[in-house]
Amino acid sequence: MSVDKATVARIAHLARIGVREEELEPLAAELSGILQWIEQLNEVDTDHVPPMASVHDQALRWRGDVVNDGGKPEDIVANAPDGQKGFFAVPKVIE
């Protein structure tokens, strides 16, 4: 499948991308090359290949779903510009 300048201009318009007239021809050639590569990939027979999410056949370890404060409240409040009594002090914004 080849892409012409008119198709590139239409794609650019639909994508709301400003493309100058002199850029249309090189973009058309580049998009045509990409589509030819995709057509080449479509020729590969993958009917008997099982789908996979990773190249490694490993399962991730599960951790317990436990709510905690991280165990470092002093370190967390140390980042606050104004920390008071272990909490973040926030200025009043509504009167």
Residue 16 has pLDDT above 90, yes or no: yes
Residue 57 has pLDDT above 90, yes or no: no
For residue 89, what pLDDT band results from cuts at 50, 70 and 90? Answer: confident
At residue 76, the pLDDT reads 82
Triad 31, 37, 41: Cα angle to 5°: 140
The percentage of residues in the chain with a pLDDT greater than 90, rounded to a whole number, is 43
The more confidently predicted of residues 85 and 14 is 14
Backbone phi, psi, residue 84, to 5°: -130, 125
At residue 7, the pLDDT reads 93
